[in-house]
Structure 1
């Protein structure tokens, strides 16, 4: 494989445009670029979550499991970015959905039943997972808007972000439990 990014400061975007993977130039505020930005931000927040988990007080074998899962997710988000960057290109596989669904079930086995809404707070790992979930929902909304306009976004890609936001919610609860924290429940003002 050759060098993909041999020069970072190209000045080709000085006119307010940027290039897609197929060579097409679009405005930097194009919905496709905004969607890519949301996916990139999500991947960055997942990276922060990953760093926090690795440095947390979770047991070593669990840290490895979390790191592996979060690494897979980051790679899938790059695949998704590739799909958005190259119209009519497919990279996201259904195996990603299966992994997320299976992992959600595995984590849920150890979590207490929710009887009330929980606040997006707790340990740093839990809180970063909640932040990632919120960014994931925004990326999902952007991808849906892009799909409505262009009609060339794969269904698997849309499902990936929906499943990932569910996974991140369950992960936040699981991380809180693994770090021996208590969930903070929403209380209706009296």
Structure 2
């Protein structure tokens, strides 16, 4: 369990921060940006959950996703190295990705097939889920860029973010299902 006794360290005052392995880097390091985007995704999900209300059928899955996103952030903040660490770092697992796929499949089975792109609109909860989806996609792009720049990253991190954005799309559709359905894009509608 993490124990936080001091909230400020003053390390960031000079534009630097510590990673999970206690190494220092600049705050604009691509790795820090990636797990910052994961944190923003998580915060967006908190707003979506508030809009859905406790007890909503999607709430339990979203609560689990929020916890898993902390695991994912912990995974990203501890760089993979050739040397054995003093303690085993927390890493995202294939089972966490499998969970997302199982929820996608279950929810998608109750939705109508799409014949158009949809607008990120509808209920407040659906709109907030779409915002979380787009922030998640940004996190996914940052992790992809981090890998392209040679960082060794647990491959399940990228898989998880990819599936999560798909799940959030399906959840947004589900949130709109009982409120009139999807808001469809009509190409060239107002020309």
TM-score (norm 1): 0.90
User: Unpaired segments of 5 or more residues in structure 1?
Assistant: none
> Aligned equivalents of 1:167 and 1:12: distance in 2?
37
> Aligned equivalents of 1:147 and 1:114: distance in 2?
33
- The equivalent residue for 2:20 is 21
Q: Matched residue of 2:13: which SS?
A: coil
- The equivalent residue for 2:61 is 69
> Aligned equivalents of 2:157 and 2:147: distance in 1?
10
2:142 pairs with 1:142: yes
Task: Report deviation, 1:181.
Answer: 2.5
> Aligned equivalents of 2:134 and 2:109: distance in 1?
24
User: Unpaired segments of 5 or more residues in structure 2?
Assistant: 81-88
Task: Report deviation, 1:75.
Answer: 1.0
Task: Report deviation, 1:41.
Answer: 0.3
> Aligned equivalents of 1:13 and 1:130: distance in 2?
32
Question: Does the aligned pair in 1 maintain the 2:118–2:184 contact within 8 Å?
Answer: yes
Deviations 1:64-117 (A, max 9, x none): x42210111011111110111111145111111111111111111111110011
Give the aligned CA root-mean-square deviation in angstroms.
1.5
Correspondence list, 1:147-186, <5 A: 147-178=147-178, 180-186=179-185
Q: Deviating runs (4+, > 6 A) in structure 1?
A: none
- The equivalent residue for 2:78 is 86
> Aligned equivalents of 2:151 and 2:12: distance in 1?
27
Q: Matched residue of 2:22: which SS?
A: coil
Question: Does the aligned pair in 2 maintain the 1:123–1:181 contact within 8 Å?
Answer: no
> Aligned equivalents of 1:20 and 1:150: distance in 2?
17
> Aligned equivalents of 2:110 and 2:22: distance in 1?
48
> Aligned equivalents of 1:130 and 1:12: distance in 2?
35
- The equivalent residue for 1:98 is 98
Task: Report deviation, 1:4.
Answer: 2.6
Task: Report deviation, 1:26.
Answer: 0.5
> Aligned equivalents of 2:28 and 2:19: distance in 1?
13
> Aligned equivalents of 2:50 and 2:100: distance in 1?
20
Task: Report deviation, 1:9.
Answer: 1.9
Question: Does the aligned pair in 1 maintain the 2:58–2:171 contact within 8 Å?
Answer: no
